[in-house]
A and B are shown apart, each in its own frame.
Chain A
Amino acid sequence: MYPRRAGSSSDVTTLEPELVPTKAENVIEVEDLHVTFAGRGGGTARAVDGVNLAIPKGEIVALVGESGCGKTTLARTILGLEKPASGVVKFHGKPLEYRNRALKKYRKNVQLVLQDPTGSLNPRHSVYEAVAEGPRTHRMDDEAGRVSRAMAQAGLRPPERFFLRYPHELSGGQRQRVVIAGALALAPEVIVADEPVSSLDASVRGEILALLLKLREELGLTLLVVTHDLGLAWNIADRIVVMYLGRVVEQGPTEEVLSNPQHPYTKALLSVVPEMHAVEQIVLLGEPPDPTKIPSGCRFHPRCPSAFEPCKNISPTILSSVIAVGSEALPHEAACHLVNPPPAESR
């Protein structure tokens, strides 16, 4: 189901691909999540408008979409930084509690790597202090040991050489490694990475992405990568979830979704990726609409090149995250009337 390279230490991967059980424990589950904000100039922005997601242990999921689609809000809600208007985020089956102490405990398990490594580090703190911040906050023992190990895991070797350096003395790639080390120092189960390589030089991207893959293999980390870059998803993600205006429009194994996209939005996104010169470009008109004014029916219909009659009035069903009993593979689904025509009587 999730092809992985041979010899990795995660216990799931020693099995042949087809035999991976579908009931791998879900580390993160999101059920019918709605997150709203007060929009500028009145109105409520429905940033996340009904999303189901389940991430099993050791999986790398890419959350893909343009700005305003809600992917960052979804990631932040999973981290506990935003509270949902309705719906629930579950960690190992238990819903998140938003009290200070419970959240603090949660933070040991789910960490964040942000987009801009330069901004993510306090310029007045040395590298050692930056990485040690997590263990210090949670009063963990063996602070020095944890920091060393985390930095070594993140590829900063030998760690001692970097302890007394400052962020401005490091390159972009090294800074991002420091941020990753800071997250690793807490020995989390899940890392949420928001555009982890978009502000880094192209030639350095490969190393950081390879590091993320290595962390999954060696530490069994689960990764949720938020990105607009389909190439990144192709490089490292097992599964891809495409969002548009607060809903998931397509999801499934990366190879399938990107080789054979079903939803018109995914098709358009793929077509404008510059490497895909074999495919004719579908350049959508206009810009993603405002989350305070979500169109009726299928929210993509105003820009959809394939919209037909039901699309204006009937909203496609929200994709579920539950894997159907008896099926082995994760389904490749799209929330689109072209793929799943609505029942005749509701037209």
Chain B
Amino acid sequence: MAVLEMRDVHLTYHTSEGPVPAVRGVDLSVAEGEVVGVAGESGCGKSTLISTVLRLYPNNATVEGEVLVEGENVFDMKWNRMRAVRWGEAAVVFQGALHSLNPIQRIGKQLAEPILIHEKGATEAKAMKKVRELLEQVNLPARHANAYPHQLSGGQKQRVMIALALSCDPKVLLCDEPTTALDVMVQAQILDLLKGIARDRRMGMVIISHDLSVLATNCDRIAIMYAGRVVEQGNARELFDRPAHPYTQALMGAFPTIGDGQSRYAPSGLAGDPPFPGDLPEGCSFHPRCPRAIDKCKTVDVVLEPIGPRRAAACIRVEQEAAAT
């Protein structure tokens, strides 16, 4: 059963300089206990995509499509139901979470807040008991409930943010760049923790990152986004070992395999920059930077097509090759 399902989601910001289509038709589904990774760079729309789940986008944005949390479409929900869903059924660990904690309140109090809001009949004592349990689940000693944010390290603060997200036992957890700005060792600890949580609590989890290698070892499936669309998706291991779309290949190349002689003194990357969503080229939005672009790419707008068992890519060249084999 899919705990989270997105069907043909579009989101456009209406700015003073014209409409900016940040998300242009994305389908994504997350099953119970599954970890899905969304990778992409600046301007690809991944953070915006996540904001649609809890309807956290600003007023000047219009959305289309459906986002189903446990079968219910969030766009159809009334305000009260939406408030209950927020945190009660789906929670977000935001990017830059390290700065999201209130510096003048103790950790325990901040963790207790959503519990007191969402659970009827919750008392302070019961909430604090749950807070201690939550801290344990994220491998923090319970006495940290009395600490202030500045007394914790970056990794510890991130764990607190994860605990905060888990406080109302949601079924869906969305993590936006949960490990950026953390050291590699701490990154590994946090990712292990998230994997364990998804497995133990049978939650659906979405992890967003610009670092494809982070996702490869921690996700079951991966979707690569570029300019508001998913350009490739499939099983994480397969995608990592045999990337099909030229963009995915470029992303993979950016993080070399240590030990591979080919990448010594040969950093690989793409020319140009990720496009600004308000200023997309005609045809395939990747064609200006694509090493395998042909004339057709400049005029034909590609959509995601299946290219194998549970693999899909949005690329004319890839489809041609898949059809040929």
The answer to whether any beta carbons of A and B sit under 8 Å apart in the complex is: yes
Q: Is the CB of A201 within 8 A of B273?
A: yes
A209 to B251, CA, bound (A): 15
- B212 near A202 with CB under 8 A, answer yes
Shortest CB–CB separation between residue A29 and chain B, in angstroms? 25
Q: Please determine whether A258 and B253 come into contact, CB atoms closer than 8 angstroms.
A: no
**With a CB–CB cut-off of 8 A, which chain B residues contact A213?**
265, 267
Q: Of all chain A residues, which has the CB nearest B210?
A: A202
A235 touches B256 (CB 8 A): yes
Does A236 sit at the interface, judged by CB under 8 A? yes
Cβ contact within 8 Å between B254 and A228? no
Give the complex CA separation of A329 and B185 in angstroms. Answer: 31
Asked if A24 is at the interface (CB within 8 A of a chain B CB), the reply is no
Q: Which of B189, B216, B250, B264 contacts A203 (CB 8 A)?
A: B250
Chain B 217-235 near chain A by CB (<8 Å), digits 1 or 0: 1000000000000000000
Highest count of chain B CB atoms <10 Å: which of A202, A204, A259, A273 = A202
Say how far B233's CB is from chain A's closest CB, in angstroms: 18
Chain A residue, CB-CB nearest to B185: A284
Which among B153, B267, B273 is the interface contact of A174 at CB below 8 angstroms?
B273
Interface residues in B149-195 (C-beta closer than 8 Å to A): 153-156, 183-189, 192
Say if the beta carbon of B31 comes within 8 Å of chain A. Answer: no
A298 CB–B CB distance under 8 Å? no
Cβ-defined contact, B267 with A205, below 8 A? yes
* Any B CB within 8 A of the CB of A21: no
Among A210, A235, A254, A269, max chain B CB count under 10 A is at A235
Q: Establish whether residues B271 and A172, one from each chain, have CB atoms under 8 Å apart when the complex forms.
A: no
B211 to chain A, nearest CB (A): 7
B258 touches A270 (CB 8 A): yes
Instruction: With both chains docked as a complex, state the minimum distance between the C-beta of B185 and any C-beta of chain A, in angstroms.
Output: 5
Residues 58-90 of chain B, each 1 if its beta carbon lies under 8 Å from chain A, else 0:
000000000000000000000000000000000
Interface centre among A67, A203, A234, A288 (most CB of B within 10 A): A203
Contact (Cβ within 8 A) A210 B269: yes
Q: How far is the CB of B169 from chain A (nearest CB, A)?
A: 27
Residues in A whose Cβ lies below 8 Å from that of B123:
none
CB pair A287 B186 closer than 8 Å? yes
B273 touches A231 (CB 8 A): no
B323 CB-CB contact with A under 8 Å: no
A171 to B266, CA, bound (A): 23
Cα distance A284–B214 when bound, in Å? 17
Asked if A255 is at the interface (CB within 8 A of a chain B CB), the reply is yes
Q: Are the C-beta atoms of B41 and A230 separated by less than 8 Å?
A: no
Q: Do A274 and B217 form a contact, CB below 8 Å, given A202-B41, A202-B212?
A: yes
Binary flags per residue of A195-207, CB closer than 8 Å to B gives 1, else 0: 0000001111111
Does B309 make an interface contact (CB < 8 A)? no
B149 CB to nearest A CB, Å = 15
Q: Verify if A66 is at the interface (C-beta below 8 Å from B).
A: yes
Shortest B218–chain A CB gap in Å is 8
Decide: B268 and A206 in contact? CB cutoff 8 A.
yes
Q: Which residues of the other chain, A, contact B192 by a CB distance below 8 angstroms?
A: 283
B105 close to A (CB within 8 Å) = no
**Contact status B184-A231, CB under 8 Å:** no
A172 CA / B268 CA spacing, docked (Å): 17
- Which residues from chain A contact B213 at a C-beta distance below 8 Å? 273-275
User: Which interface class (under 10, 10 to 19, 20 to 34, 35 or more) fits A?
Assistant: 35 or more
Residues on the B chain within 8 Å of A161, using CB: none
B267 & A172 in contact (Cβ 8 Å cutoff): no
Most buried by A among B41, B185, B186, B213: B185
Task: Report if A273-B184 is in contact (Cβ < 8 Å); known contacts: A203-B251, A206-B253, A259-B259.
Answer: yes
Do A206 and B270 touch across chains, with their CB atoms under 8 A apart?
yes
Instruction: Please tell me if the beta carbons of A203 and B270 are within 8 angstroms of each other in the complex.
Output: yes
Would you list which residues of chain A between 1 and 21 have a CB under 8 Å from chain B? Answer: 3-5
Q: Is the CB of A66 within 8 A of B183?
A: yes
- Decide: A277 and B270 in contact? CB cutoff 8 A: no
Residues of A within 8 A of B100 (CB): none
User: For B270, what are the chain A residues with a Cβ–Cβ distance below 8 Å?
Assistant: 203-204, 206-207
Asked if B257 is an interface residue, CB under 8 A from chain A, the answer is yes
- Across the interface, A235 reaches (CB within 8 A) one of B153, B217, B266, namely B266
- Whether B264 pairs with A202 at a CB distance below 8 angstroms is no
Bound CA–CA A254/B263 (angstroms): 12
A144-173 CB contacts (< 8 Å) to partner B: 171-173
Please determine whether B256 and A234 come into contact, CB atoms closer than 8 angstroms.
yes
Known: A230-B258, A283-B185. A202 touches B251 (CB 8 A): yes
Does B289 have its Cβ within 8 Å of any Cβ on chain A?
yes
Residue A281 at the chain B interface, CB threshold 8 Å: yes
By a CB distance below 8 angstroms, the chain A residues around B263 are: 234-235
- When distances are taken between beta carbons in the complex, the residues of chain B under 8 Å from A102 are none
Of the listed residues A67, A204, A270, the one surrounded by the most CB atoms of chain B closer than 10 A to its CB is: A204
The answer for the CA separation of A255 and B212 in the assembled complex, in Å, is: 23
| Interface-central residue, A205, A268, A275, by most chain B CB under 10 Å | A275
How far, in Å, is B230 (CB) from chain A's closest CB? 17
Q: Residues of B contacting A202 with CB < 8 Å? A: 41, 210-212, 251, 254-255, 269
Instruction: Please encode chain A, from 168 to 182, with 1 for each CB lying within 8 Å of some chain B CB and 0 for all others.
Output: 000111100000000
Name B's A-contacting residues (CB within 8 A): 41-42, 153-156, 183-189, 192, 210-214, 216-217, 247, 250-251, 253-259, 263-271, 273-274, 289
A-B contact pairs, 9 of them (CB 8 A): A3-B265, A205-B269, A228-B184, A235-B263, A268-B185, A273-B184, A274-B214, A274-B217, A287-B186
In the complex, besides A228-B184, A230-B184, 18 extra interface pairs with C-beta distance below 8 angstroms are: A66-B184, A67-B183, A203-B250, A206-B270, A209-B267, A210-B269, A213-B267, A231-B256, A255-B264, A258-B259, A272-B184, A273-B184, A274-B216, A275-B255, A275-B258, A287-B155, A287-B185, A288-B183
Q: Which 7 A-B pairs have the closest CB atoms?
A: A206-B269, A209-B267, A274-B213, A171-B273, A272-B188, A201-B41, A66-B183
